[in-house]
Amino acid sequence: MLFRQLEYFVAVASERHFARAAEKCYVSQPALSAAIAKLERELNVTLINRGRSFEGLTPEGERLVVWAKRILAEHDAFKAEVDAVRSGITGTLRLGTVPTASTTASLVLSAFCSAHPLVRVHIGSRLAATELYRRLRDFELDAAIVHAGPDDAHDVNLVPLYRERYVLLSPADMVPSGAATSTWPEAAQLPLALLTPDMRDRQIIDRAFAGHGLTVTAQVETDSVASLFAQAATGNWACIVPHTWLWTSPLGPGVRALEMVEPALTADVALATGSAGPGSPVARALSASAQQLALDEFFDAALMKITLRR
């Protein structure tokens, strides 16, 4: 059995199409098909249901693709380990973040990239936490910045990064002069722009309103926190955002930030890496770097500075 055969098989399982898989692997379709057929003969099983085209994996194929992804990931990690011993950590760090953590990735990466200047970083920031966890388990990502929900966080290693708190961004004329905080019932009285209901932060916000027996209907919904800042800047809407955005998104002169209280909800955010095997050198190095951060102090200082500006 050759690594090339496993690569071709995983590509077919992922693309669900022989021609696209061959193109992805930079090989002719006959050569790809022949390699997979040889793999099936060596294992004495049928891995792919074939008709005139790809018709899905057999039960044996479904089992093998899990092992094949793991074997290929460990093979890549081993090669990276050898390179790291010889010339330091290199390669590409594939980092995913939930959308609301996209701005904090730079803080997580700063010390890491300074210590490992030969590493390139690719960040994907438009995926839900469930998809990020799936990609970690399927070895499609090295690490992810995610909400540390107990339902999703099995089979991964978590390094706590910070605890999100929530602030009301509001046009100044919508809130009392001098106020530094807002309750959820007070916020419910304002015209609101909010994150979309599928996002974890929106679900936390909705539960906070529900705890007061309130259901809010947002006139504007978006999957972008940056868009919420813009909605507040128009003077037409208030919005509720994680306080971790305040350090990088300056407020206009007509916008106020008030901490949400009664209750002051929090959501834990962590760096997740795969728990299968030793993992890649870049993932281990990023995890070690993240453990040295003190992001809660940084974000809380930014929140205090802005809420006191009233």
Identify whether residues 179 and 131 lie together within a single domain: no
Identify whether residues 95 and 157 lie together within a single domain: yes
pLDDT band for 169, please (50, 70, 90 cuts): very high
- Sequence-separated (6 or more) residues with CB below 8 Å from residue 256: 169, 170, 171, 172, 175, 179, 310
Identify whether residues 190 and 261 lie together within a single domain: yes
From CA 52, how far away is CA 242, in angstroms rounded? 52
pLDDT band for 162, please (50, 70, 90 cuts): very high
Is residue 35 in some structural domain?
yes
Q: Is 94 helix (H, G, I), strand (E, B) or coil?
A: strand
Is residue 300 in some structural domain?
no
Domain of residue 108, residue span:
81-162+268-293
Q: Which of 148, 150, 213, 144 is nearest to 185 (CA)?
A: 213
Residue 145 C-alpha from the chain's centroid: 5
Could you give the number of structural domains in the chain?
3
- Per residue in 46-97, pLDDT (tens digit) is 888 887 677 788 888 888 888 888 777 777 766 666 565 556 687 889 999 9
What letter would DSSP give residue 310? -
Residue 215 sits in a domain whose CATH number is: 3.40.190.290
Is residue 262 in some structural domain?
yes
Identify whether residues 144 and 275 lie together within a single domain: yes
State the pLDDT at residue 46.
Answer: 87
Q: Is 175 helix (H, G, I), strand (E, B) or coil?
A: coil
Is residue 304 in some structural domain?
no
Residue with tokens 């107990």: 150
Residue 35 sits in a domain whose CATH number is: 1.10.10.10
Identify whether residues 181 and 257 lie together within a single domain: yes
Residue 305 C-alpha from the chain's centroid: 28
State the pLDDT at residue 79.
Answer: 66
From CA 184, how far away is CA 258, in angstroms rounded? 11
Identify whether residues 89 and 126 lie together within a single domain: yes
At 255, give phi and psi (nearest 5°): -115, 135
Identify whether residues 12 and 144 lie together within a single domain: no
State the pLDDT at residue 227.
Answer: 92
Is residue 188 in some structural domain?
yes
Identify whether residues 168 and 261 lie together within a single domain: yes
The average pLDDT across 240-249 equals: 90
Is residue 301 in some structural domain?
no
Averaged pLDDT score across all residues of the chain: 86
H helices of 169-233, where?
184-188, 200-210, 225-233
What letter would DSSP give residue 252? P
From CA 105, how far away is CA 144, in angstroms rounded? 9
Give the largest Cα separation in the chain, rounded.
77
Identify whether residues 171 and 261 lie together within a single domain: yes
pTM, two decimals, is: 0.73
Identify whether residues 174 and 261 lie together within a single domain: yes
Identify whether residues 168 and 245 lie together within a single domain: yes
pLDDT band for 145, please (50, 70, 90 cuts): very high
Q: Which of 31, 64, 97 is the last residue of a domain?
A: 64
State the pLDDT at residue 12.
Answer: 86
Residue 36, class by beta-carbon neighbours within 10 Å (0-12 exposed, 13-18 middle, 19+ buried)? buried
Q: Which of 38, 64, 90 is the last residue of a domain?
A: 64
What letter would DSSP give residue 163? E
Lowest mean pLDDT among 105-119, 144-158, 168-182, 221-235: 144-158
Cis peptide before 263 (omega within 30 of 0): yes
Q: Which of 35, 64, 93 is the last residue of a domain?
A: 64
Is residue 286 in some structural domain?
yes
> Element (H or E) spanning 91, and its range?
strand 91-97
Residue 150 sits in a domain whose CATH number is: 3.40.190.10
The average pLDDT across 282-307 equals: 86
Is residue 306 in some structural domain?
no
The average pLDDT across 259-275 equals: 91
Identify whether residues 133 and 280 lie together within a single domain: yes
State the pLDDT at residue 84.
Answer: 59
Give the Cβ contact number of residue 217 at 10 Å. 8
pLDDT at 270 over 90: yes
State the pLDDT at residue 277.
Answer: 65
Sheet holding 91-97, edge to edge: 119-124, 91-97, 143-147, 267-274, 156-164
